[in-house]
Chains A and B, each alone.
Chain A
Amino acid sequence: MAWHRPSVPVTSDINVTPLVDVMLVLLIIFMVITPLMQHGVNVQLAQAVNTVMLPGADKDDAVIVAVSHDGHLYLGNDMVTADQITEGVEKAIAQKLDKTVYVKVDKQAQFAAVAGVVDDIRDAGVDNIALETQKIDKMDLPPSAYGMQ
């Protein structure tokens, strides 16, 4: 012990090594989990002000259909063709009570692609869809930004 050896002074510093260890581990955990938390593919969502929270979209078994800006379709994380959507959604919602299908559409996707997907989802017997959007407080981009009046 230190007080037996007068030549070594008592240290007044806190040993921060364990703290750094814990911090590093936490950091790594958060870095690994964050990309995994996102369901479905990543698309640039349209912005909207009057949105509602969609807690169901965060669930592991949420049925998420995504439309990319170039019209590619994704069911969950898998790229699918239009005729696979109906079958896939039907299978996915068969055992579920909440039959809402979450649709993530890129803001630049054409309405024709969206209409096609909506038709396919509807054919699967779905009544309710939720269009995922990015919640903003105020619409900062006027419709004219898309060449509209």
Chain B
Amino acid sequence: MAMAVGGSKGGPSHDINVTPLIDVLLVLIIIFMVIQPLHPSGLKALVPQPNHQKSQPQHNDPTIVVQVLDNGVLKINQTPVTWDTLGPQLANIYKTRAQKVLFVKGDDDIPFALIAHAIDVAKGVDPSIMVGILTPKMQAGK
């Protein structure tokens, strides 16, 4: 490829200026390379299997169930709380507990984002809290 760039004669250059093209390509490559390492992240949850004739070891701590109800009510067991006080309340409850298990359940038409948010708050209180999703079927003991 002859690279006659003006030269001594001072004539016009025949070559296309590829520098902007390379600039654009480099930026595109960098964008695609950055998008790649978006690794999935998430919240781990338990779905305990039903006990088959196996009696659970009795412990005194009652199970904690966070309920997200469709009229905008949030409850820890039977105590109504708000989204702002959910974290501190849970922190208070789990401060003294050895078995950090929490169940989350919601009304049927609650968007999943709120369930995820409730789990998120619990994990924020203590990442070692094991969160289970309580479904109506599970609650019936099946």
A residues in contact (CB < 8 Å) with B: 8-9, 11-13, 15-17, 19-20, 23-24, 26-27, 30-31, 33-34, 37, 46-55, 57-58, 67, 100, 102, 105-112, 114-116, 118-119, 121-122, 125-135, 139, 141-143, 146-149
B135 touches A118 (CB 8 A): yes
A106 to B113 Cα, complex, angstroms: 8
Knowing A19-B22, A30-B33, A149-B83, say if A54 contacts B39 (CB, 8 Å): yes
User: Which B7-34 residues have C-beta < 8 A from chain A?
Assistant: 7-8, 18-19, 21-22, 25-26, 28-29, 32-33
- Selected from A15, A24, A143, the residue in CB contact (under 8 A) with B25 is A24
A135 touches B83 (CB 8 A): no
A141 to B18 Cα, complex, angstroms: 45
B89 to chain A: closest CB distance in Å?
15
- Residue numbers in A under 8 Å from B124 (CB-CB): 49-50
Knowing A109-B112, A119-B137, say if A139 contacts B117 (CB, 8 Å): yes
- Residue numbers in A under 8 Å from B5 (CB-CB): 11-13
Asked if B36 lies at the interface with its beta carbon under 8 angstroms from chain A, I say yes
Residue of B nearest to A134 (CB): B41
User: Which B44-64 residues have C-beta < 8 A from chain A?
Assistant: 44-49
5 A-B pairs whose Cβ atoms sit less than 8 Å apart in the complex = A23-B26, A50-B124, A52-B43, A108-B112, A131-B119
